[in-house]
Chain A
Amino acid sequence: MSPLITTKASASAQGYGLFSASAVASNFYSIATVTPSGTGSFSFSSIPSTWTHLQLRVISRDTRSAATNGYIFQFNGDGSASYTYHDIYGNGSSISVDYGANQTFGNAGYSVSASTFSQVFAVGIYDFVDYSNTNKYKVYKQLGGFDLNGSGTLVFGSVLWMNTNAINQITILPGASANFVSGTSFALYGVK
């Protein structure tokens, strides 16, 4: 990928206001975006095997009263005990690690409580690697968390889905009786 504009800085690196509306060839494609509001679980369905990798970029809030909450993934409607995860967390003062085998879902990131904090969302960036290869189990890694100016948690983790099927559906489940709220966005991209 070649930069659209490449500038050479001299004494000052400021003042490069040369933005162009034209695009260049990219290997990163927007596939679909879901903005759930007042809804619980939803899916990206009929995901084509066109790409090499997928990336899901998320900002999220939900209706639960606890300050922060998790959501989870399932692939192709599979709720069997075929997911394994490793995570490392940092909460601003200490770190922790977590591992789970034979889970019925893939761990994902956080939502900030809309009833507790205003204007703040949690972030999640997920990379689903070689998602359509039918010769290997699937792995995704996650980077996510939130900061609330005095509290917050970050997570870096990976999840193994012990299944060789191509991922053609990603279901997002926010947890029991929870709904995502306005402003939440799940944007799915394909990487060639």
Chain B
Amino acid sequence: MTAGATYTPIQSVTLTTAVATVTFGSGGTLPQTYTDLVLVCNPKGSAGGNGIIFNLNGDFGSNYSDTILRADGSTASSARQSNNSCGNISNLSGLPTASFGTYETHFMNYFNTSTFKNVFSRGSNADSGGGVDIIGNLWRSTSAITSILVSTTGGNFTIGSQFTLYGIAAA
């Protein structure tokens, strides 16, 4: 078996000013040289009760759906959103405001143009009232993913929030 080094950092953003959105591949410039993308986020929010969402290729249509498995320290539950206008990086765990959350999101087979896209995320919010969740997103598009817009549903990502996108290339 031959092996090649991969899990290559593509782009990293560390906020020096609070912003509501972070874009990877602005203008559709994500490289198409990997098999999967992995987005590692370590953000904090300016306002509580908000989630972390994503939109792909500027698509804000009702083309997203997800299944959620989550726990808040006392209760585990599952939920679903269909025909949604965005994908979810975090749902119940949400965007913490006291600590920095941790989220790892996998964009599987992201430039395959014959399949819908799976985006799997797992996250944690260590704030009081936070939790952990796993989210299986489906983007019903056969387009290659060329840009990723990461947003909070309210307020801003605060200074020090970090977002890093990696590429994984299969042999």
Contact = CB atoms under 8 A, between A and B. Distances in A.
A183 B113 CA distance: 11
A91 B78 contact: yes
A149 to B, nearest CB: 4
Interface residues of A, number: 69
A48 B1 contact: yes
Contact of A31 (B1, B13, B164): B1
B53 interface: no
Q: How large is the interface on B (under 10, 10 to 19, 20 to 34, 35 or more residues)?
A: 35 or more
Interface string A42-80: 000011101000000101000000000000000000000
A88 to B, nearest CB: 7
A90 B3 contact: no
B82 interface: yes
B157 to A, nearest CB: 8
Given A7-B12, A8-B14, A145-B67, A17 B33 contact: no
Interface stretch (A98-106, A118-126, A128-136, A172-180): A118-126
B6 A26 contact: yes
Given A119-B114, A121-B115, A143-B120, A1 B136 contact: no
A171 to B, nearest CB: 16
B23 A14 contact: yes
Interface in A122-160: 122-123, 125, 143-154, 156
Interface in A12-62: 12-19, 21, 23-33, 46-48, 50, 57, 59
A156 B7 contact: no
Given A30-B6, A119-B115, A57 B36 contact: yes
Interface string B99-113: 000000010110010
A90 B138 CA distance: 16
Which of B9, B21, B33 has the most chain A CB within a 10 Å cutoff? Answer: B9
A121 B80 contact: no
Interface stretch (B24-32, B44-52, B123-131): B24-32
Contacts of A162: none
A147 B136 contact: yes
A120 B83 CA distance: 15
A24 B12 CA distance: 14
B134 interface: yes
B19 A13 contact: yes
A48 B140 CA distance: 38
A190 to B, nearest CB: 6
Residue of B13, B106, B114 with most chain A CB atoms under a 10 A cut-off: B13
Contacts of B74: none
A119 B171 contact: no
Contacts of A92: 67-68, 78-80
Interface of A: 1-19, 21, 23-33, 46-48, 50, 57, 59, 88-95, 119-123, 125, 143-154, 156, 183, 185, 187, 189-190
